[in-house]
Structure 1
Amino acid sequence: MNKVLLIDDDAELTTLLQEYLVEEGYDVVTDTDGRAAIAAAAGNTVDIIVLDIMMPRMNGIEVLQRIRKLSQVPVLMLTARGDDVDRISGLNLGADDYVPKPCSPGELAARLRAILRRAGQPAAGVSTDTIRAGQLVIHSGSRSAEWRGEALELTGTEFSLLEVLARSAGQLVSKQEISKRAFGKPLTPFDRRIDVHISSVRQKLGLREDGQSWIQSVRGQGYQLLVD
């Protein structure tokens, strides 16, 4: 049973979501203070955190920033509908996904399942092979990666994206294909989460000797992982 920490000061929405997620088989703990999420991340006591951005005392963006200094626990952000700034800020800081409020319990449960699937051990039938692409080594079974002989710290979402590119290293992979293979769903219009997460992975890989990124983009088409 996956343990979910739900941080939101909207009591009515929190109760609704908690009841639904419990029926779906989750162990759900709620709180109204973002500091509880930081403590849970530090103690490694939950499997995933659902974090509202607009909260008193400490907003969700600041909480996420502190969490990422302590842990790579999956985090799903609840954002105001239409607020692209909050969404992009959250993704830039390492959030795994976001859901606009007001959200349906069913949509939230589906997003949680997808994130946990990306962050956890592979299910039956999922490849557990090792992928080598230049100086990058991807271990699909343990969902871990090495870059230039050193462990590469990635969120679950970042790992899924990099694995897709590594399997097609040296080839252009369309955004639509990346979305289907990494997220299990088609890319929707104006969805920038792939771009934001790729930007984070680029920073972790650093630059090539020629000053270019190891992950090249083709405007309007997709991304390509270079191997030499």
Structure 2
Amino acid sequence: MSQAKDTDRLRAVALDMGADLFGVAEIDRFQNQEYTGNSPLAFMERARSVIVLGVAVPRGSIESLPKGRAEYTNTLMAGTATLRIIAFRLARFIEKSGYRATIVPSEGSEFGYWYADRETLMADISIKYAAYCADLGNYGINHLLITDEFGPCVRMTAIVTDAALGGGERPSRPLLHEGCSDCMQCVAACPVGAFSADGTIDRHRCAEYMFKTLGGLRCGLCVRACPK
């Protein structure tokens, strides 16, 4: 596969199947000191690229919160299912071209399975960081990806591959979204105080609220509060 030609072809296929976001992060970006997560090289030793896919979450499901948490959760799961189909077809295309590909889970826990480490709540790689490296957006104080078109209202997955696709331009924005320092609406909206104004997050508070208090439903109040 040639980098530019086949990256463009993968993008076209993904968008045609319903993806709203497509980007590629080069594997060396995961060696940066600013990244504190796990490396794709831990499970694919010859990995060279991470493809990031995203779909916009319908805002009606977000505006209905907190009463509509069942509807919001169901909408997120539908987004996950859509992404899995797109990612699977792209992974098969990559492998038919003579390379290897595997699909990264969309989140730590869904459909009754745990994908993240139960102690640290860290996934095998950070899809949000991969999306930042692919210049699809940057981080909010709520630790969600803030995209230009959809704000934080996106669902994402990623494909790790040993195909050298090239990441194109480096991120054109800082790691933290510029509008967050004067906003803090997500900090105020969190029912368990999981976010701090200094950018830190207590992941266990967030997880315990969703999986214990809400019985597995997703909260979403930080997404609803975000003005982007």
Please give the TM-score of this superposition, normalised by the length of structure 2: 0.24
1 or 2, which has the higher strand percentage? 1
The structure whose RCO (Cα within 8 Å, separation 6+) is larger is: 2
Give the TM-score normalised by structure 1.
0.24
